[in-house]
Structure 1
């Protein structure tokens, strides 16, 4: 499906693509602003084509809409992508040009940190964009905190079904991807007694997780199929394919990666095998909550991050009651909140 077809079929408000400094594609997608301005991160990543970069921006923006609605935030969903290598290509000129592109949205899209960007980058973008988030606070620790709260909720539900045990102590978790968020997940899990297996393309990150937090290393080919209780994708998306879903040994998939599932049928495959799946736009909402608090000048927001576990419990309960998979249940609940706001407007 082309980006234009996706735009129409899934109700996007706007997609803008500009060629910026260095010839790189700057892409901004706004999905829905019913609840408020669209807030979403700036992702700098090298894609094979600009079409693939635009498709990723659209997928991510749509997920942000549902994420904000389920987190109870007065925000819509958006995302921006720069198709470039964050290590070799990123420059002040690139970031400023992207900031000018964002400025053309007049505040309807608020950028934040994401893969390939951090607070210093958002400060540069903020020289031109009317509002930014993440320029003063790294949202990664709060994303990790929400994922860990989600894992704990799932562990407790599995224990209630006679599988495993309550809490995190002794829980076996495999984390795929040890970037800022993934390392935070490993740190928080091991601090609470979980036994964590890790894999990442960068051996230095793996070494840090092993040496600093007592994790066990494995390979990228094996990490999602490890003999553990929970697998936690925390790198790029689309890693849980039909083949992976059919071969998982874990009893649950709870991750930080956006768009973990590689296709619409993967969730049904997991459900058919009795594997609990928490939609990523629920479990990884802690970073968005942090960004929203920064934009709104709110200091006390950690409690809202911790309540992600309760949202997970509600969604899994609804999925069980309705006989649907958790993705379907979560999207239905998010749409209900958005539709209610649209009617009230």
Structure 2
């Protein structure tokens, strides 16, 4: 416990460790802040190399969820869960039910959904033992579609901010790293608007099929970072923007769907100093959690598209404040989110 209390990223209301020996469950649920509402965030399943690595991941991801909900204008706080397991080998109904019992024990303080290594069907299985789940409304579809639509709005806003309001996405060159749930949907949306794509993914069959479908170029997962494009969109694992990797990036804009893209917060300032326009990840990828809000609170779906489009407007305000203050865009976004959380209410004038 001493290590947890001294952890650099521990600024949380509570952190819960769960083990269920019969099912093999080893999980951590972190609740960062519930000032705006119950904590919400997906369940990530990965074979973490150590408990320390899993803890660091869940602490950072849950804080990002607090900021994402606040700046996205929805009445939830930030939470996250990690299950230390290989989803291809260890995932069973028994394990998912054990995780659901863990969620249930928190009495509604944390609402879970899917994330890396888990699916909508997994969340339905978890929901067999707890009501505190989101993202399983069949009629609403997969929330990843809303993540991609919100990300598209942020890429469009970034292009217009940098190149002028008259500029459209037609002919814009975008490199997408990771073409899974979010990246693949983003690729199709961009292609439909005339963008020229460079795609990369560790799944060579998946990315080759998509490149053929969309007439896109292919690149390796590492070399795509140095592609000669207008926008680099990381949509796979986080932590890829570090002191070494950013020196290879040629794109003047970074806007992607991956969580925790910056290896450390100081990288945001280095990107600004290099003249790169960085869209803070938890703002750019907020569409999915906004979709869950509409599902859970039975909000009119007709309003969802306007809310997602509004993420681009919020991002332009972040860029503007960054230019005015000299702060990095990630620092500005954190500042705004923290102001909203401290105020204890959604800043609808800003978020809508």
- For normalisation by structure 1, the TM-score amounts to 0.94
Aligned partner (choices 151, 160, 175) of residue 156 of structure 1 = 160
Distance 1:208 1:116 in 2: 22
Q: CA deviation at 1:139?
A: 0.8
* Pairing of 1:173-192 with structure 2 (within 5 A): 173-192=174-193
Moved more, 294-303 or 223-232: 294-303
- Who is 1:269 aligned against? 270
How far residue 22 of structure 1 moved from its aligned partner, in angstroms, is: 4.1
- SS of 1:305's equivalent in the other structure is helix
Counterpart for residue 330 of structure 2? 327
Distance (whole Å) between structure 2 residues aligned to residue 246 and residue 160 of structure 1:
26
Alignment of 1:136-151 (within 5 A): 136=137, 137-151=141-155
Post-superposition shift, 1:3?
A: 3.8
Residues 2 and 241 (structure 1), Cα distance of their counterparts in 2 relative to 1, 3 Å cut: farther
Stretch moving more, 230-239 or 113-122: 113-122
In 1, Cα distance between equivalents of 2:252 and 2:25: 42
Q: Quote the Cα distance in structure 1 between the aligned partners of 2:196 and 2:3.
A: 42
Residue 291 of structure 1 aligns to a residue whose secondary structure is helix
Point out where structure 1 has 5 or more consecutive residues left out of the alignment. none
1:108-147 paired onto structure 2 within 5 Å? 108-136=109-137, 137-147=141-151
Do residues 308 (structure 1) and 311 (structure 2) align?
yes
Mean alpha-carbon deviation: is it higher for 189-198 or for 45-54? 45-54
Give distance in 2, aligned partners of 1:99 and 1:87.
19
Aligned residues: 340
| Matches of 1:156 and 1:297, distance apart in 2 | 33
Residue 11 of structure 1, CA deviation: 2.3
* 1:121, distance to aligned residue in structure 2 (A): 0.9
Which deviates the most, 95-104 or 117-126?
A: 117-126
**SS class of match (1:101):** helix
Change in Cα spacing, 1:2 to 1:306, as seen in structure 2 (3 Å) is farther
CA shift, 1:147, in A, is 0.7
Kept in 2, the 8 Å contact 1:63–1:281? The answer is: yes
Q: What is the aligned partner in structure 2 of residue 18 from structure 1?
A: 18
Q: Structure 1 stretches (4+) deviating beyond 6 angstroms? A: none
Deviations 1:178-202 (A, max 9, x none): 1111100111011101111111111
Matched residues in 2 for 1:190 and 1:107: separation? 41
Aligned to 2:348: none
- In the TM superposition, 1:51-66 aligns within 5 A as 51-66=52-67
Q: Matched residues in 2 for 1:58 and 1:213: separation?
A: 38
1:36: which partner in 2?
Answer: 37
User: Mean alpha-carbon deviation: is it higher for 114-123 or for 60-69?
Assistant: 114-123
Distance in structure 2 (CA, Å) of the matches to 1:95 and 1:115: 14
Matched, 1:80 2:81: yes
TM-score, structure 2 normalization:
0.93
Matched position secondary structure for 1:124: helix
C-alpha contact 1:147 1:283 (8 A) present in aligned 2: yes
1:250 corresponding residue in structure 2 = 251
**In 2, Cα distance between the equivalents of 1:205 and 1:242?**
30
- Please say if residues 103 and 132 of structure 2, whose CA atoms lie closer than 8 Å, have aligned partners that are also in contact: no
CA distance in 1, matches of 2:91, 2:163: 46
Instruction: Find the residue that maps to 1:107 and give its secondary structure.
Output: coil
